[in-house]
Chain A
């Protein structure tokens, strides 16, 4: 009780009421600063293999010798196939797989995205483990075209050679599926979704046929990306791609196993996010971290493996980079050893982290270390929302509205005589009194803005690709006009009060805060990035209009005649800054910064949304955009008179 009594005395403390903006700013500063300390040794850890069953690099690999001759022949064969028409190529691939001794099947798929037709056929073969019981499987994937659109000659040839080599072993406890998707985004997506779908429904945009052959629960997927033709090319390092759709990550153990085998057993260096030279300095670590956060927050596929991760199938892509002295046999032996390790698994990979940010191929920050950054950012909105809520419940009592320039004199509090029975006391007079909150209108406005957010969400994801940039420009125009128009309408029509504006902002920020906090546990990077970009929303207050409240005291000495002009100028600057922080403008700015075509980016987002279920655009348009619009309404409504 003592605590609650003490807390009760705090209720009207003026210090407490003034605190929230500073607290909120502090949250943002610490949240962003937190991000920069993550690369330090104290806040990150060396990776380690957590699952004992994996035993990475403990087996002797035998892939080599005459297999190299076979590999060269398969690479020539793949090269010849690339000259064929698609139907001939598929038939020839099926024939090769059948000769190896696999059960072969094909799966055609067809997507319609943003007015674009995506068609292809996946070919796959199942190597039935001689002593396996058909309950589990691992996938070896070599897409016909890699993520950059090059033909994956050597990767596919290596996968075929490995399949032929694996066929001779009787040690497999799981079936091995050799999957050859037609491309690196839609093929794997079509295959893995058909593998798991309960009832394959054909919709207008999605026609994925069911799989004739299956092989139990998928345990892990390894994709090979080695787009080198029959002329050969030795590589320097292996780039390990691991980001899944929506920032879902494969178990860290799979990544660690690949790194341990490649660098420990085979002596091949591993890189992350294409950082070919990584000196393990703070700067390099931070760059890797930033690249990881950007890729994860985009939520888009980063390689053929990405489609598997949302289905809880741990997957990575091994991509060869650079010029060096490692040849295809080293990659083959790495893959062999990796499959032997996965084969050892008694249970699904679960032991190690699913939430991590890599700073290096063997250094990571775990969720406990990085989550506070995003949570603090999300918390800043909640703090402001609560402060606004408290403010909205109090109105100033008559004479307490002080004249400008009397702050120093007004420090003397007004006193009041209170009489209870015989006791008489002199207490400071209450400067505020509780007010009834009128919540219907604010709630309706917030709801309406959130509903309106489905317009940009729908138009930017469903229109034909030609119209996407136009749609974004329209969205910019309407987004910028909407707050001004809405606030005018609300002021004129409904006579929205300052209190209602506060409540409206409070609702909106509360929603933003909770959404981001929830999102941070699913996709840290997206929550963090949106949190940083939306952080100005905490400090949006109605612009001063016609009055001098909130006017900087320093400027008070400048002549009164300039005051109005200055105010207009300040308001303009604030409005401009606010406009710059709007989601569509930020999208444009990002395109400019990464020197990407706006149409291309929008097309990628639309494809991700409709084919792979990437929810980044939902977060942008249905979480961030409404909060921005509501902030804008508050900003434009102006303060001063009721």
Chain B
């Protein structure tokens, strides 16, 4: 609940005071259960639209600005993400999941739609290729097959002229991309202090990428005030969750070797406890930590570059009875709670560039584990089935709340995964019942763009209403396509990654009785992403003895077959082939029938009209055939056929 409010806090404070400063930065720290620490970095810079159009850049990064201008981008969202957010123990996601990306790289942006579809695609291609160079990421691999045009999942965050007409949304993902230091460095280069001073000095690649979960985002959007003065804002965020214990390991001994026996904390209540038998005690509370130990360095100086930036640099969300020490240079201080919110302590870095700031907290034993918000939704998605021919997708969405929720479920699948939409099943059942999901759930809306081989991926978007306290299972079957052998990437064939599904929880429109539990979600979207998936495809492998066997068997089969034919088969002329007994018998029966029919016809004609020699002749013929029967009948039929 609080996180969103907290993040909004500095912004509300500032906007109350004056106009938005051109640059501000903020770090939010919050310990999570089981010894984890959430650190959310936010860097916001803005420039007036007029300055941007005249290419006058101050805190807004020029390199990015020029790319956006060149590709006529109205709004840009770029995400680099790694790891998993542990919903069960960490609770709801920071920033409502809006600054979060799926594993790998994700980009979506609104482009000027002038010039029709080819022009937009041209712009999109130029945007991703330029960003690829800027961020050292393989964004250039986002081509038509990895691009979708979602309808319901995203809405522009900025204020756009013309109410959002004349622009088009394109969305691309690269689930296989491994986010690394090479992406962080250009990210920091966009900041005014370039990671040298201020909170960005904490962002060291070793620590950021040792996190259990981390996501970097860049969001560019225009915002217009009431007076009509428009600004272009860039928000850069880095959200990480660090394992406190792992991060605090000294640099010279990073290996988690077993601790000496004396350091083990044993549960002495066990009956078998002895000097050589130690049942490890459950970790309780939170160990002592400090910024400098976790990030390896204290905050170096500050980055107060813009005028009018009076905001707090660091906020810390811990229980009010916890002692927090701040050291500036040499002097130590205690950080007190914020007046309005007892859970939050804020501080502003000293303006001096030389001073180092550190925050340290002593060890803390909780009486009761800190309350966590329940996430809006739990989601998991898996590929089922085995073998290389087909499989199934299985998504489980679980609504823990006592009110129903409307969600948009977006999947963009690569073309070589061919879903069968007739097998799409959405079933729901109450969470606490052990019955199988039996009640089918009808999607409110569904957008589906089928894939085209090697041209376009599948785009599936569902608008679902998830009943209160229930679980929804979404399944469909798919085929795995066989790729051409040149289409396999040259690297180790681990399988192909399938992008995570994106789930947007729409704001609840009905303000029901239980606003207390869902209070903060009302009126706000939140986003979730499932984990990415690995899709093993049939792989050509020409090196195995099995292929040798197959080849030799084929050769032997061909050679053996022809030789055996020559040895065994009887060669006769076509005329010599005797008629098979069955055919003769069938022909005999046919002849009889024909004879009967013919005689009947003859009788009809002869009796009814009494004229027509042909008819009589046929009749005679038929009678004769009937009389002879058997083989003769056949021969006569054959003869009569020949005559005709």
Contacts and interface: CB of A to CB of B under 8 A. Distances in A.
Contacts of B88: 103
Contacts of A474: none
A499 to B, nearest CB: 15
B545 A366 contact: yes
Interface stretch (A127-135, A456-464, A594-602): A127-135
A168 B283 CA distance: 13
Nearest to A165: B258
Contact of B258 (A62, A133, A213, A371): A62
A198 B385 contact: yes
Given A198-B384, A367-B549, 14 more contacts: A4-B566, A16-B567, A63-B258, A65-B257, A66-B258, A73-B266, A73-B270, A130-B243, A164-B280, A197-B385, A198-B385, A202-B436, A217-B495, A366-B545
B83 interface: yes
A66 B280 CA distance: 11
Contacts of B264: 66, 69-70
A198 B545 contact: no
B427 to A, nearest CB: 11
Interface stretch (A237-245, A317-325, A385-393, A542-550): A385-393
Nearest to B396: A212
A234 interface: no
B103 interface: yes
A64 interface: yes
B209 interface: yes
Contacts of B495: 135, 217, 347-348
Given A69-B264, A312-B386, A216 B391 contact: no
B225 to A, nearest CB: 41
Which of A74, A130, A196, A347 has the most chain B CB within a 10 Å cutoff? Answer: A130
A434 interface: yes
Interface string A68-93: 11101110110000000000000000
A456 B264 CA distance: 62
Contacts of B357: none
Contact of A99 (B282, B494, B545): B282
A140 B86 CA distance: 22
A128 B475 CA distance: 24
Interface of B: 34, 82-84, 86, 88, 103, 209-212, 243, 245-246, 255-261, 263-264, 266, 270, 272-273, 276-280, 282, 380, 382-387, 391-392, 394, 436, 475, 477, 491-495, 497, 531-534, 536, 539, 541, 545-546, 548-549, 563-564, 566-568, 570
B86 to A, nearest CB: 7
A633 B541 CA distance: 47
B392 to A, nearest CB: 4
Contacts of B84: 128, 133-134
A311 interface: yes
Interface stretch (A7-15, A110-118, A262-270, A570-578): A7-15
Nearest to A346: B492
A67 interface: yes
B272 A73 contact: yes
Contacts of B497: 135
A189 interface: no
Contact of A131 (B86, B209, B245): B209
Given A62-B257, A133-B82, A69 B210 contact: no
A312 B538 CA distance: 13
A169 interface: yes
Contact of A168 (B256, B266, B436): B256
Interface of A: 4, 7-8, 10-11, 16, 53, 62-70, 72-74, 76-77, 99, 101, 103, 128, 130-136, 164-165, 168-170, 196-199, 202, 213-214, 216-217, 230, 311-312, 346-348, 350, 353, 355, 366-368, 371, 386, 389-390, 393, 434, 521
A170 B260 contact: no
Nearest to B572: A434
A169 B278 contact: no
Contacts of A355: 545-546
A348 B384 CA distance: 17
Contacts of A72: 276-278
Given A131-B209, A198-B384, A62 B277 contact: no
Which of B245, B273, B567 has the most chain A CB within a 10 Å cutoff? Answer: B567
Contacts of B212: 130-131
Which of B209, B243, B386 has the most chain A CB within a 10 Å cutoff? Answer: B386
Nearest to A438: B581
B540 to A, nearest CB: 12
17 contacts: A8-B566, A11-B566, A69-B264, A70-B280, A73-B278, A73-B280, A76-B270, A99-B280, A128-B86, A133-B82, A133-B103, A133-B532, A197-B385, A216-B531, A346-B494, A348-B494, A386-B564
A58 B387 CA distance: 33
B536 A135 contact: no
B135 to A, nearest CB: 19
Contacts of A196: 384-386
Contact of B549 (A63, A128, A371): A371
Which of B82, B494, B564, B570 has the most chain A CB within a 10 Å cutoff? Answer: B494
A389 B272 contact: no
